[in-house]
């Protein structure tokens, strides 16, 4: 007796179609599973047997052979429990349904037959729609997530018995439906607002420029100057999430198993990830025996904030160079090579010296670090990494009068309007270029869209000579000046735009060396 069901397994942040084949023969009781199953998948035979029996079905004492095709793809999903159980029941003639060829099935089984939630349902639903499946059966807790895919019927189930009754048309399960307009009506509304930041107008301006062009930014200043507070408010001025960005980000969180009930299975706000400086290379960049996304991928379409940048391990900082340059992470293993998206804005902060008060003019906060200590501290951040950060801004310590003053400046919603207008200009400019903002411009596009007049060229020439800027820093200045010009709604880059962009390279000054 032979039967099969259809499911999906994760491969990076995408899903691959699986055919679960089950063959049942007379012979000594045996349950063989082939097709490169991982240990967690091999253990499913015990869960499947107990679930079938406890759900009041029969589990005849025969020889079972379950094949997970294609056989050359490694399987590491407990979500294969339910489709394996259905294939076993179909092979033993306890399920007779024509729906098995039209519906994908995914879910983990408990020993009593309950269907538990799994990770990676969204990419499975996307793949099922792409493959022309009519629908997908998923755990009830994952239904909202899968229902974000239009054109695919999503059937939520609670246990094995209910799944069998639905397949045999004994009961009817209404497909899960979500209101995407209602979900996205609450985009980017949070408690953090730029209006709460007292003073620091030049820093808030730099944040606006960074958000407008998608530029990376580094803040340098003493403890308590407001670096972290300002950084946490960056998502509130960034452009609203689009549906495509939301689905792409949700796929990553789904594969990582980080979707929770509070977001109802869909990510609707730009993420702000702030890993501790003790983070390992793998946790930051992604990987593992079965590679999973790291913090750089969880920050995709959002913000990765690295507080106290020099305190991070040098090896961890250096692995950031590829995603900052390419927008994705490549993880190579002996059996496979995977790529995870990692287009994020990196916001970092650091002190000017180990004690934090080098250059401070506030009484009682004098620096007591030796010159060698300062040089050693700053050298922890390599030149190539600094070159990949478009904007360097100093955040001075505020005095008593500034701290006692009432909050002033613009609210995030007003700043975001200008950011949206600036991004709209860039989208129109790059509509045929396969990029979306100024920070993503290649050298060819920089030459095309960052044409300078004679005055601007002279200012940039002087800056290059005095600061000893690298070719990459030169490109960064042109990108930032293009964004500043867009904020001014200027077609060309003018002298004041170049001047402001040059001032955002404070760490390239002679004293930094």
Q: What is the dihedral of CA 78, 261, 255, 37, to 10 degrees?
A: 0
From the centroid of its chain, how far is CA 376? 33
Considering the entire predicted model, what is its pTM? 0.87
Q: For residue 187, what pLDDT is reported? A: 54
Q: What's the pLDDT score for residue 102?
A: 93
CB 38 within 8 A of CB 290: yes
Q: Which of 411, 426, 453 is the last residue in one of the domains?
A: 411
Above 60 in pLDDT, residue 261? no
Report pLDDT for 224. 83
Is the domain of 203 the same as that of 344?
Answer: yes
Mean pLDDT of 54-79: 92
CATH number of the domain enclosing 94? 3.30.230.10
Task: List beta partners, residue 330.
Answer: 339
Residue 294's alpha-carbon distances to 95, 160, 330, 381, 382, in angstroms, are 41, 34, 11, 21, 22
Q: Which residue has the tokens 């055919």?
A: 19
Structure-token match 């209101």, residue found:
179
Q: What angle do CA 279, 283, 286 make, to 5 degrees?
A: 150
Question: Does 98 lie in the same domain as 202?
Answer: no
Closest CA to 26 of 74, 68, 62: 62
Q: Has residue 68 been placed in a domain?
A: yes
pLDDT score for 510: 41
**42 pLDDT higher than 80:** yes
Residue 407 has pLDDT above 80, yes or no: no
Of 389, 377, 266, 237, give the one whose Cα is nearest residue 325.
Answer: 389
Does position 512 have pLDDT exceeding 70, yes or no? no
Residue pLDDT, tens place only, 139-191:
999 998 899 898 999 999 999 999 999 999 999 999 998 877 776 665 555 56
> Looking at residue 398, what is its pLDDT?
77
44 CA to centre of own chain:
30
pLDDT at 490: 92
Q: How many domains does the chain have?
A: 3
Q: Are 162 and 206 in a shared domain?
A: no
User: How far apart, in whole angstroms, are the C-alpha atoms of residue 186 and residue 79?
Assistant: 32
Q: Are 249 and 263 in contact (CB under 8 A)?
A: no
Return the pLDDT at 511.
39
Rg (CA), the chain: 28
Most distant pair of Cα atoms in the chain: their distance:
89
The chain-wide mean pLDDT, for the chain, equals 88
100 and 10 part of one domain: yes
The stretch 441-462 carries a mean pLDDT of 91
- 221 with 103, same domain: the answer is no
Residue 115's pLDDT band (cuts 50, 70, 90)? very high
- Looking at 371, 393, 411, the residue that finishes a domain is 411
Length of the chain: 513
Q: What is the DSSP letter of 366?
A: -
Residues ≥6 apart with Cβ < 8 Å to 114: 158, 159, 160
- Give the span between the Cα atoms of 35 and 137, in whole angstroms: 23
One domain, residues 451 and 489: yes
Q: How far apart are CA 377 and CA 260, in angstroms?
A: 40
Q: Which tokens is 471 given?
A: 């070719």
367 and 246 in a single domain? The answer is: yes
Domain assignment of residue 360, yes or no: yes
pLDDT for 388 beyond 70: yes
Q: What pLDDT sits at residue 186?
A: 58
pLDDT level of residue 508 (50, 70, 90 thresholds):
low
Mean pLDDT of 191-196: 82
Element (H, E) at 16: strand 14-25
Q: Determine, yes or no, domain membership for 180.
A: no
What is the average per-residue pLDDT within 391-415? 82
291 and 385 both lie in a single domain:
yes
Judged against a pLDDT cut of 70, whether residue 328 lies above it is answered with yes
Give the least confident one: 204-208, 286-290, 424-428. Answer: 286-290
> Of 9-18, 20-29, 318-327, 339-348, which gets the smallest average pLDDT?
318-327
Query: Alpha-carbon distance 461 to 467, whole Å?
Result: 10
Least confident of 39-48, 138-147, 458-467: 458-467
Helices (H), 382-469: 383-387, 400-404, 412-429, 443-449, 454-467
User: What is the per-residue pLDDT for 25?
Assistant: 92
Around 290, how many Cα atoms within 13 Å sit in the side-chain half-sphere? Answer: 15
Structure token pair of residue 345:
């804005």
End-to-end alpha-carbon separation of the chain, Å? Answer: 76
Distance CA 331, CA 86 (A): 35
> Is 482 domain-assigned?
yes
Same domain as 367, residue 316: yes
Q: Are residues 160 and 209 in the same domain?
A: no
Query: Both 120 and 151 in a single domain?
Result: yes
Torsion-angle region of residue 341: left (phi > 0), alpha (psi -120 to 50) or beta?
beta
Is the peptide bond prior to 501 cis by the omega test (within 30 degrees of 0)?
no
DSSP class of residue 341? E
The domain in which residue 148 lies consists of: 2-167
Please indicate, yes or no, if residue 419 is contained in any of the structural domains.
Answer: no
In a domain, 178, yes or no: no
Please check whether residue 179 lies inside any domain of the structure.
no
As a whole number, mean pLDDT of residues 80-85 equals 96
Instruction: Supply the DSSP symbol for 98.
Output: G
CATH code of 197's domain: 3.40.50.300
At residue 343, the pLDDT reads: 92
Range scoring the smallest mean pLDDT among 226-230, 358-362, 442-446, 476-480 = 358-362
Report the alpha-carbon distance of residue 166 to residue 156 in Å, rounded.
10
Q: Dihedrals φ, ψ of 348, to 5°?
A: -125, 160
Q: Exposed, middle or buried: residue 41 (CB in 10 Å: 0-12, 13-18, 19+)?
A: buried
Tokens 């890993």 belong to: 275
Question: Does residue 172 belong to any structural domain of this protein?
Answer: no
- Residues 337, 426: Cα–Cα separation, whole Å: 33
């Amino acid at each position: 007796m032979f039967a099969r069901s259809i499911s999906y397994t994760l491969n990076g942040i995408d899903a691959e179609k699986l055919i679960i084949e089950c063959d049942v023969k007379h012979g000594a009781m045996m349950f063989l599973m082939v097709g490169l199953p991982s240990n967690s998948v091999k253990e499913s035979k015990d869960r499947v047997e107990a679930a079938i029996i406890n759900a009041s079905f029969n589990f005849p004492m025969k020889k079972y052979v379950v094949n997970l095709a294609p056989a050359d793809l490694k399987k590491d999903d407990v979500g294969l429990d339910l489709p394996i159980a259905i294939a076993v029941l179909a092979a033993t003639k306890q399920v007779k349904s024509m729906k098995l060829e039209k519906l994908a099935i995914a879910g983990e089984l408990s020993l009593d037959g309950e269907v538990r939630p799994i990770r990676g349902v969204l990419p499975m639903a996307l793949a099922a729609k792409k493959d022309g499946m009519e629908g997908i059966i998923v755990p009830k807790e994952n239904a909202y997530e899968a229902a974000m895919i239009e054109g695919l019927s999503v059937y939520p189930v609670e246990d094995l018995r209910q799944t069998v009754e639905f397949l045999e048309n004994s009961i009817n399960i209404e497909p899960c439906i979500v209101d995407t307009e209602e979900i996205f009506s609450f985009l980017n509304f949070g408690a953090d607002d730029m209006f709460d930041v007292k003073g620091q107008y030049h820093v808030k301006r730099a944040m606006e420029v960074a958000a407008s062009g998608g530029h990376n930014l580094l803040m340098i200043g003493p403890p308590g100057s407001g670096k972290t507070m300002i950084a946490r408010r960056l998502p509130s001025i960034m452009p609203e999430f689009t549906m495509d960005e939301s689905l792409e980000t949700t796929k990553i969180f789904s594969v990582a198993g980080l979707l929770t009930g509070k977001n109802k299975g869909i990510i609707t706000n730009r993420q702000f990830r702030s890993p501790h400086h003790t983070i390992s290379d793998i946790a930051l960049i992604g990987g593992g025996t079965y590679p999973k996304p790291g913090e750089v991928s969880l920050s995709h379409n959002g913000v990765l904030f690295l507080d106290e940048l020099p305190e991070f391990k040098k090896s961890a900082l250096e692995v950031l160079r590829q995603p900052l340059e390419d927008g994705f992470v490549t993880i190579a293993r002996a059996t496979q090579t995977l790529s995870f998206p990692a287009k994020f804005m990196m916001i970092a902060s650091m002190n000017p010296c180990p004690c934090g008060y080098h250059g401070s003019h506030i009484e009682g906060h004098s620096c007591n670090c030796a010159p060698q200590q300062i040089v050693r501290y700053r050298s922890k951040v390599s030149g190539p990494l600094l070159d990949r950060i478009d904007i360097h801004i100093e955040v001075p310590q505020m005095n008593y009068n500034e701290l006692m003053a009432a909050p002033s400046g613009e609210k995030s919603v007003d700043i975001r309007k200008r950011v949206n207008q600036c991004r709209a200009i860039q989208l129109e400019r790059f509509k045929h270029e396969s990029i979306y903002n100024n920070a993503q411009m290649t050298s060819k596009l920089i030459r095309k869209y960052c044409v300078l007049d004679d005055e601007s060229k002279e200012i940039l020439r002087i800056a290059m000579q005095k600061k000893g800027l690298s070719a990459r820093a030169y490109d960064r200045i042109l990108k930032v000046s293009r964004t500043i010009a867009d904020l001014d709604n200027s077609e060309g880059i003018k002298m004041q735009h170049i001047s402001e962009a040059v001032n955002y390279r404070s760490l390239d000054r002679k004293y930094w060396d």
